[in-house]
Structure 1
Amino acid sequence: MEIRIGIANTGRELSFESADTAESVRSSVTSALEAGAASVTFTDVKGTSYVVPTAGLAFVEIGTEESRRIGFVA
């Protein structure tokens, strides 16, 4: 699924594909914000880790877990 993260005071977004479930990503972001953690960590499908400071989070968009269709749709 695709995850897009908006960072405050920055015109660009962080966008990557993740193998985690939507509920897993949502709970990790929510728990980090509620606990007052300094950062939250994400891992993409290639194994790259992203550490994002929670103070700079503008938004986190979690895509659907639906697989993409290939081919023509009638």
Structure 2
Amino acid sequence: MEIKIGVQHTPREIILESGQSAEEVESAVSTALSGSGQLLSLVDEHGRKVLVPADRVAYVEIGQPTPRRVGFGTL
């Protein structure tokens, strides 16, 4: 699923594709923003970690899960 993270004082947003469920992402965001965590930590499809300081998160947009694409043609 696609996740967009807006960061304060930064003109561009962070966009990543993640294999995490919407519930996992929402839990990580709420933990970071509640003050119990200093960083918002998410993992993308390739296993890379994305760390954003919790006090700099402006917004998080969680997209719909995308089905796996099969084949070479576009539909």
Q: Which amino acid aligns with 1:59?
A: Y
CA RMSD across the alignment: 1.6
Question: What's the counterpart of residue 55 of structure 2?
Answer: 55
Runs of at least 5 residues in structure 1 that lack an aligned partner in the other structure: none
Runs of at least 5 residues in structure 2 that lack an aligned partner in the other structure: none
Question: What's the counterpart of residue 17 of structure 1?
Answer: 17
CA-to-aligned-CA distance 1:7-51 (integer Å, 9 cap, x gap): 001101100100000011001110221134211111100111111
Report sequence identity in percent. 39
Q: Which amino acid aligns with 2:3?
A: I
Tell me if the contact between 2:3 and 2:61 (Cα under 8 Å) persists in the aligned partners: yes
Q: In 2, Cα distance between the equivalents of 1:61 and 1:12?
A: 14
CA-to-aligned-CA distance 1:40-73 (integer Å, 9 cap, x gap): 11110011111100010000000011427751xx
Q: Which amino acid aligns with 2:63?
A: G
User: Which of structure 1's runs of 4+ aligned residues deviate more than 4 A?
Assistant: none
Q: In 2, Cα distance between the equivalents of 1:67 and 1:59?
A: 25
SS at match of 1:20: coil
Question: What's the counterpart of residue 44 of structure 1?
Answer: 44
